[in-house]
Chain A
């Protein structure tokens, strides 16, 4: 039996996807996914993201070459998983993401406290999301538990390109970038 990392449902050997929640159960080496470059698998985020083949062939370049520009009139939302609540990002081009606690002087633009952020290992100022020339990028701000893009850990203090549909994990809290 295979246990789905996402919902713990049991699937028979040989299954590729969880029939309960749709999560992918297999690791693919030759196929294009975002987990290819870094085989070490973080324990925290279990979301698999599969791109359609049309988005490029070289997985190493996938994150930097493929993405389309984000239209100027689009609103970006962060969708908190698994509850699915949307947090709109408006009025700025750069947002810090984190949680709040008593006596904190610098507050994050996006406060994830209502989503169990503390228990899930989100730092006070965990990451920053920037929109520039229609491109979104994400930087880990030296957080304790790290930041992951589609299960791949990113180094701190460096912007990494992200795009709508990507799943970002701050510690164990996952959010998906969506566009309206």
Chain B
């Protein structure tokens, strides 16, 4: 049995103030008092626990000693939240507060064997994929096959206007036959992504277990027409079964909004490569990222606090993606064995009420799958809140939040540009691109800045961005947030 958590007993966050502790204690003690609950054994026990909790938490020294023994709020995961402000000022207008959530695998996880993979590569073999692109995809696929561990399963589906299962749940070994099948793949036909996804989904589902990391990697260079909606519905289905979808877009023509949507729906990621030469390194990276997952399908189900509203969430590690809010669930992604899952959230806090002591930003629970645990599912309550009151001496906000925001701001500027253009507001879009270029230059990103300025110019002449420039800017500003910069996003 786990030792009593005094904070939970009193229903308090770990940074509760002395006032809050007192109030919570009085309320609980009144409710559970033996005089009011004659003969109720459970209430009597609860009453004792509440007494004990208050004894410790109301004594600053005892509380500090107790705090030091507290485990992470989430079982088997190191967890930390940093806020942009320690205390929110009591003001009669709305204000912003940022929360940076970091989930880290325990150090011991590094010595554990990696979880087995159950992957399907869904490869676009439409006419445009012919030549060099297809050659690279083939050779990379064969190489990935060689890296399979005994328990891994790999499926391969190709699609154009129809889908074909080239490989179904193959395991290590039997390379000769598989390799020759892969070499037989020929480009030709249109791009109907739904067909490929559906076949890939069936393959992954067939071999899916809670012990496996189940994932679809879609490789495409084209736009799909008319089946986007069905594809997104399929992504929702995949999500129900803990199957992630990641997209690799090659060249300029693919639909980034659509691929991003597939990925954000399922907790996957989107990658962009301009030249076929980079396909290999990106697939390698994705493969190793997946096989280094400690926990996956990390979700935060929350009900918005009354006092605040989530504006957006952005994943910063292990890869960079905006996170979509689906109802009241945020699919955060996966925790790598040797790194962290890090998510930045922006909350708009409503004007505070007189005498209000704390604002709840979001409350709910975090859940995740840790394949190596006997029972893979881990669930823990998570409440995000801030005290309200006199702010002490003004201190700098946490550096990592400021740094992340300086770059998220650029990504969001880029996004605003798309919105401006969509609503015909070319003047604003141009001005925003010029601002973006200035900030990029100031950050030393001169190549990306040049692309931005070129597009600002183009925009004035054609009222639109080039497909290529638009992708460079989007994925370029996104990759600014990566710890190790990937150098592909420059022309």
Contact = CB atoms under 8 A, between A and B. Distances in A.
A23 to B, nearest CB: 8
Interface string A1-24: 100000000011111111111111
B438 A176 contact: yes
Chain B interface helix/strand/loop/mixed: helix
B358 to A, nearest CB: 16
A82 interface: yes
A147 to B, nearest CB: 18
A22 B95 contact: no
B413 A12 contact: no
Interface in B422-441: 431-432, 434-439, 441
SS class, residues of chain A in contact with chain B? loop
A13 B397 CA distance: 14
B443 A17 contact: no
A24 B406 contact: yes
Interface stretch (A25-33, A94-102, A127-135): A25-33
B91 interface: yes
B345 to A, nearest CB: 13
A13 B402 contact: no
A22 B436 contact: yes
A166 B84 CA distance: 28
B10 interface: no
B85 A14 contact: yes
Interface in A38-84: 47, 49-53, 55, 79, 81-84
Given A17-B405, A52-B444, A178-B446, A31 B396 contact: yes
A16 B84 contact: yes
18 contacts: A13-B93, A13-B95, A17-B405, A19-B409, A19-B412, A21-B435, A26-B397, A49-B442, A50-B406, A51-B444, A52-B444, A82-B435, A84-B437, A165-B443, A165-B444, A165-B446, A166-B442, A179-B446
Contact of B435 (A14, A15, A22, A79): A22
Contacts of B406: 16-17, 24, 50
A156 interface: no
A171 B441 CA distance: 22
Given A19-B409, A28-B402, A164 B446 contact: yes
B443 A52 contact: yes
B437 to A, nearest CB: 7
B310 to A, nearest CB: 14
Contacts of A178: 441, 446, 449
B403 interface: yes
A81 B89 contact: no
Given A14-B97, A84-B434, A22 B409 contact: yes
A23 B403 CA distance: 13
Nearest to A19: B412
A169 to B, nearest CB: 13
A52 B94 CA distance: 31
Q: Contact size class for A?
A: 35 or more
A83 B434 CA distance: 8
B135 to A, nearest CB: 35
A167 interface: yes
B461 interface: no
A47 B91 CA distance: 28
B117 interface: no
A84 B453 contact: yes
A53 B94 CA distance: 32
A13 B442 contact: no
Contacts of A21: 413, 431-432, 435
Interface in B379-435: 396-397, 399, 401-403, 405-406, 409-410, 412-413, 416, 431-432, 434-435
Given A31-B402, A50-B406, A22 B446 contact: no
Contact of A1 (B93, B349, B439): B93
A15 B434 contact: no
A50 B449 contact: no
Given A12-B348, A13-B91, A82-B438, 8 more contacts: A13-B93, A16-B98, A20-B416, A21-B431, A21-B432, A22-B409, A49-B442, A55-B444
